[in-house]
Amino acid sequence: MENCNIYIGEVISEIMSEKKISKAELARRLHVRPQSVDYMLSRKSIDTDTLYNVSIALDYDFAKLYSIKKEQINYDKDEEPEEKHNKAKVVIELELDKDDLSNLDIKRKILSLLK
């Protein structure tokens, strides 16, 4: 089994710096002592419950660091993806009154698209 080269304590520390969140503030958000945050920041790995709570406290998805999908494109970075996609999927949820819905005549439009 391969070892992961991610030192999560360092990554958490970097995100804290970017978001200008002190150790004391993170400790307050996690409901732990500041010494616990110091210990966590010195760790190569932490348990998943702690990682989940830190993700919420810092509003950052640390789980994406451990993605096993090599072809996954990370759009959080300023880099341009190597591959350009010609299609995009957009999902919109609207709440409409019955009259508005009938005025849109969506059923007919969908049927015409499927033909």
Distance CA 51, CA 53 (A): 5
Q: Write out the two tokens for 74.
A: 């990370």
**Contact status, residue 9 vs residue 42, Cβ threshold 8 Å:** yes
**Contact status, residue 36 vs residue 9, Cβ threshold 8 Å:** no
The tens digit of pLDDT for each residue in 23-57 reads 999 999 999 999 999 999 999 988 989 999 999 99
pLDDT given at position 41: 94
Question: ∠ CA(74), CA(76), CA(82), 5° rounding?
Answer: 45
The tens digit of pLDDT for each residue in 1-22 reads 566 778 899 999 999 999 999 9
Which structural domains are found in the chain, ordered by start? 8-66 (1.10.260.40)
The tens digit of pLDDT for each residue in 46-104 reads 898 999 999 999 999 988 887 766 555 555 555 555 556 677 677 777 677 777 777 77
Distance CA 112, CA 110 (A): 5
